Amino acid sequence: QVQLVESGGGLVQAGGSLRLSCAASGRIFTINLMAWYRQLPGKQRELVASITSDGTSNQIDSVKGRFTISRDNSKNTVYLEMNSLKPEDTARYYCNASIKTTPWGILDPYWGQGTQVTVSS
């Protein structure tokens, strides 16, 4: 049993900052890739940023220079630091992780319930 719980969302004015956290708990043997997705109003879910277990990260062009993804492997936690927020960043943000629950198991994708980020103009 694995659970991902996001936190840190909220309402912020344009130009402000937020730091999202996603903590994984339960029967975890290995966490490989961790990522943040978002779903904008009226749009499909899209990848925002990802990070591997060794710290290699990627971000989509629209957030490069503004968002930073990081992880703390000892805490099974991934973060998304969001700076210079824009109204178009308003979305529900979801945590995703590829997790093995046993040494002989496979990497399964797990999703959090999401946290809302609203940026006012």
Count the Cβ atoms, other than its own, within 10 Å of residue 84. Answer: 13
Report how far Cα 99 is from the mean position of its chain's Cα atoms: 15
Q: Identify the sign of the CA torsion 80, 48, 2, 6.
A: positive
Q: Measure CA of the first residue to CA of the last residue in the chain; give whole Å.
A: 41
CB 67 within 8 A of CB 80: yes
Mean pLDDT confidence for 56-61: 97
Mean pLDDT confidence for 30-59: 96
- Taking 90 as the threshold, does the pLDDT of residue 40 lie above it? yes
Mean pLDDT confidence for 49-67: 96
pLDDT of residue 79: 98
Percent of the chain with pLDDT over 90: 99
Residue 61 φ/ψ, nearest 5 degrees: -60, -35
- Taking 90 as the threshold, does the pLDDT of residue 1 lie above it? no
pLDDT of residue 7: 97
pLDDT of residue 117: 98
Compute the mean pLDDT over every residue in the chain, rounded to the nearest whole number: 97
Report how far Cα 71 is from the mean position of its chain's Cα atoms: 10
